[in-house]
Structure 1
Amino acid sequence: MTDSSSWVPEGVNTALPSAARVYDYLLGGGHNFSGDRALAEKLVTVVPARDMARLNRAFLRRAVLHLVDAGITQFLDLGSGIPTVGNVHEIAHSADPDIRVVYVDYEPVAVAHSELMLADEPNATILQADMRDPEKILNSPRVRDLLDLDRPLGLLMVGVVQFIPDADDPWALAASYRDAMAPGSYLALSAFTWDNAPAGMAGAVEVFKNSQDPIFPRARAEIMRMFDGFDLVEPGLVYTPQWRPERPEDVGDNAERSNLYAGVARKP
């Protein structure tokens, strides 16, 4: 797709790569620009970024279906990104078309394309907001109109907390959302880690310094803290392909290569 496409929202700096558009490219999407593609190609020289994106997307699918099986009928997807095949409402609606989904992202291209995709979808919507502002998000009329926060909720923070620096306290942020959720709600989260390939991830940090979304990978213990106040479901916090794989071969011989930890947990 060319950088002069008519779908570019006004004011978007197409020269500055964004994580949402890089992820879209790595997943084979078409809503990205030359700068995003160039950054993605640099990224694959230091980490197996295409595998990481694919395995993270597969985790999202399994997590959503697990929550649907657990009785969750509404989802809040923070940092939802650009709508490519396999979005949350598509996964959930394959099981129950009455499930309600609110997507949240601050990236203009992600929001613009979500609005187009969801124009005729009464049970899903997109809110343009920064996930670091839970009060704004949770009190938004768009959220309140579609979600009932007095009932169990599926909160999705899949592949996004690595964009939140320590200075913005992602642990307190997760706690803020947790405290606003009804008992019986779930959190599904995945995040970049240093643990498997510290040198490669350090290279990824350098690559993302040339984007609007620097990354902050974390050790397993730091990611585990984001589940404080929740009860992790089996198999706990593991690499993405290890979380309830549908087939043994889906895990492969080197699950650590995914470089993201993933977990799902219930609020008691």
Structure 2
Amino acid sequence: MPIDEADYADRPSSARIYDALLGGSHNFAADRAAAQKLLEAIPYAGDLARRNRTFLRRAVDHMLAAGVRQFLDVGSGIPTAGNVHEITGRTAPEARVVYVDIDPVAVAHSRDILAENPVATAVQADVRFPDALLAHPVVTEMIDFTRPIGLLMVSMLHFLPDEDAYVAVERLRSVLAPGSYIAISHGVVETPADASADQVASIYRRTDVSVATGRTRAEILRFFGTAELVPPGLVWLHEWPAPPAAGEGPENMAVLAGVGRVTGAA
């Protein structure tokens, strides 16, 4: 059933704010205003969004090279240029991709973008209810949980409180077959950006996620469970899988990223 986007235009969403930061067109005036406030609080937020997209590409490429041919992108936002189905399409056009987001407008736009793509689709689901997400008929049709999966949770777990985040990720990890991978990027409370934490939290409090908080390195590592971190481990966003030629400090990063490989029981 088509949604009436006018019903959502006045309330920004995390997915559409991210789209605005990336310079996309799938957002409303309220989202662009929220993105501008975010840039005022963290002037390099746009750069972080672009580097996050670069990490996503590198992580997916790594998984493809390891033979993964199905991807579950949770908290995906809107799959505009450079997203998972485009990355897989270059080297493994048969790879299946399911995008999952809570925002009905983001999902509607995603389905429009993917309308002619037989191996990629989008579903609306709330990661706080992982069993419902895993039982979604589109997910069960597209994803074979007996085979390796690339589970992507890129720049989304900091929008969940602890009591939801750890339980949800543990449940999602529990269904991953050996040879699966987990990619996570997450805001960290170790940089000068912490000074803007209250401003950022205030911006997102008026969106669909209502929470935006960083975690410590140890708290982020906990999401990987028993998955073995792929070298170089949990590092600054721009350092995965290797630091750039020109050294760059973490003060303009504020986000850690890593990829873990499931070798047995996740």
Q: Which residue in 1 is equivalent to 2:47? A: 51
Query: Identity over the aligned pairs, expressed in percent?
Result: 46
What is the aligned counterpart of 2:223 among 226, 229, 238?
A: 226
CA distance in 2, matches of 1:205, 1:195: 16
Runs of 4+ with >4 A deviation: none
Deviations 1:201-225 (A, max 9, x none): 3321222223232312111111111
Q: Which residue in 1 is equivalent to 2:13? A: 18
Deviations 1:60-109 (A, max 9, x none): 01000011011111100001101210110100111110011111111112
Distance 1:240 1:223, change over 3 A: same
Superposed, which structure 2 residues align to 1:149-228 within 5 Å? Answer: 149-168=145-164, 170-197=165-192, 198-214=194-210, 215-228=212-225
Q: Residue 94 of structure 1 aligns to a residue in which SS?
A: helix
Q: Residue 44 of structure 1 aligns to a residue in which SS?
A: helix
Contact 1:241 1:255 in 2 (8 A): no
CA distance in 2, matches of 1:261, 1:98: 31
Contact 1:9 1:112 in 2 (8 A): no
Contact 2:5 2:105 in 1 (8 A): no
CA distance in 1, matches of 2:261, 2:7: 38
CA distance in 1, matches of 2:46, 2:116: 31
CA distance in 2, matches of 1:179, 1:130: 17
Cα root mean square deviation, aligned: 1.7
What is the aligned counterpart of 1:98 among 90, 94, 101?
A: 94
CA distance in 2, matches of 1:128, 1:247: 36
After TM superposition, the structure 1 stretch with the greater mean CA deviation from structure 2, 49-58 or 193-202, is: 193-202
Q: Which residue in 2 is equivalent to 1:33? A: 28
Q: Which residue in 2 is equivalent to 1:112? A: 108
- Which ranges in structure 2 are unaligned for 5 or more consecutive residues? none
Shift of 1:254: 2.2
Q: Residue 194 of structure 1 aligns to a residue in which SS?
A: coil
Q: Which residue in 1 is equivalent to 2:131? A: 135
What TM-score results when the alignment is normalised by the length of structure 2? 0.92
What is the aligned counterpart of 1:62 among 55, 58, 61?
A: 58
Contact 1:12 1:108 in 2 (8 A): no
Q: Residue 219 of structure 2 aligns to a residue in which SS?
A: helix
Counterpart of 2:149, as a letter, is L
Shift of 1:10: 4.5
Shift of 1:144: 1.6
Counterpart of 2:218, as a letter, is A
What TM-score results when the alignment is normalised by the length of structure 1? 0.92
Contact 1:39 1:207 in 2 (8 A): yes
Contact 1:73 1:99 in 2 (8 A): yes
Counterpart of 1:221, as a letter, is A
1:239 and 2:211 are equivalent in the alignment: no
Deviations 1:9-53 (A, max 9, x none): 346321111111110000000111111111111111121211111
CA distance in 1, matches of 2:220, 2:58: 20
Distance 1:45 1:11, change over 3 A: closer
Shift of 1:160: 0.6
Contact 2:232 2:242 in 1 (8 A): no
1:261 and 2:256 are equivalent in the alignment: yes
Deviations 1:217-237 (A, max 9, x none): 111111111011211010111
CA distance in 2, matches of 1:73, 1:104: 17
